[in-house]
Amino acid sequence: MSSTPSGENLDRRTRRRGDAIFRMLAQGSGAALLVIMAAIAVFLVLQAVPALNADTTSFLTTLKWAPDGTPSSFGIAALAFGSVLTSLLALLISVPVAVGVALATSHYAPRWLARPLAYVVDLLAAVPSVVFGLWGLTYLVPNIIAPSTSLNHYLGFIPFFASNGTYGKSIFAASIVLAVMAIPIISAISREVFIQTPRDQVEAAWAIGATKWEMVRTAILPYGRSGIISGTVLGFGRAIGETIAVALVLSANYEISLHILEPGGNTIAANIATRYGEAGEIGRGALIASGLVLFIITLIVNFGARAIVGKNSRGGAS
């Protein structure tokens, strides 16, 4: 009686099925992600606690790594230092290059060149890290000795470039390998944001008499800043989590040294990869404890970057 001729009325229909299914999928995925993250954290903590209790020295300040010795003694200090140092150096090298590559493919190269170039850069991101590691070991390490020697000769008064006279399988070499691995990720993400710069922003810059570089500086880079930062964080993640490439290139020891040209140093991830097989029960727990530290460092960096992007994103892409 109250229905319209077509047999419908204006009451809300029982949930539209597509909406319901989609909502379930989306909410389910979101919840699953949180549960997985929490489960990883819990697993790491549970596995690490027995080893941390067995440690006879301070985990946070000890340099050496002898968890299966008697007495058991190990610490994260040298490894965390090495991880952060190699990753920061890698970013120092890769971010300027990657932004340059991104600008070249988005605004500078002619179209016939830009597309293949962008494609090759994307392809680089998919190369397995062991390939980069082998390249580092067989090509970079032998060939880095000469430039390292000159750096030390001319700039040796700067602590970073001081050396005991040996070069090669150093933090410097590892950082370059990590930088090469990070470039494609950073440049791919930066490029995607750069090409979305609104046309009217670009024209505004042209119209006040900007040269090409001034246009890039006034329109593209401010808009693309969030993209550069996101790309950098992902690049940092790839660098700090890298195991095999670093393990191949670096001649490991457990010392804290700023002398990046000398052989030595180690990273958390590479240490896990090289020590896990031979480790005893306490040793495995110790390695898992170091993994927990890696997890925390990554979280801190992510939140830090998020804060920066959030603060500066007004008017830019998010």
Partner 1 sequence: MAKNVQMKDVDIYYGKFHAVQGVNLSVPPRAVTAFIGPSGCGKSTVLRTINRMHEVIPGARVEGRVELDGEDIYRPGVDPVEVRRAVGMVFQRPNPFPTMSIRDNVVAGLKLQRVNDKAQLNEVTERSLRAANLWNEVKDRLGKPGGSLSGGQQQRLCIARAIAVQPDVLLMDEPCSALDPISTLAIEDLIGKLKQDYTIVIVTHNMQQAARVSDRTGFFNLLAVDKPGRLVELDDTEKIFSNPTEKATEDYISGRFG
Which residues would be at the binding site for partner 1 (CB under 8 A)?
A: 111, 198, 200-211, 214, 218-219, 222, 312, 314-316
Return the residue matching tokens 């419908």.
8
10 Å CB burial of residue 204 (0-12, 13-18, 19+) is middle
Given the complex with partner 1, which of 123 and 207 has the nearer CB atom?
Answer: 207
Given the complex with partner 1, which of 226 and 290 has the nearer CB atom?
Answer: 226
Residue 196 Cβ vs partner 1, minimum distance, rounded to whole Å: 14
As a whole number of Å, the end-to-end CA separation of the chain is 52
Given the complex with partner 1, which of 114 and 145 has the nearer CB atom?
Answer: 114
Q: Which two tokens stand for residue 83?
A: 């991880």
Task: Indicate the length of the chain as a whole number.
Answer: 318
Residue 191 Cβ vs partner 1, minimum distance, rounded to whole Å: 18
Given the complex with partner 1, which of 106 and 170 has the nearer CB atom?
Answer: 106
Residue 227 Cβ vs partner 1, minimum distance, rounded to whole Å: 14
Residue 204 Cβ vs partner 1, minimum distance, rounded to whole Å: 4
- 253-258 long-range contacts (CB < 8 A, ≥24 apart) are 254/63, 254/64, 254/65, 254/78, 254/79, 255/63, 255/78, 256/63, 256/77, 256/78, 256/81, 258/159, 258/160, 258/162
Residue 218 Cβ vs partner 1, minimum distance, rounded to whole Å: 6
Show the CA angle centred on residue 238, arms to residues 237 and 240, nearest 5°: 65
Contacts of 212 (CB under 8 A, 6+ apart): 107, 108
Given the complex with partner 1, which of 103 and 178 has the nearer CB atom?
Answer: 103
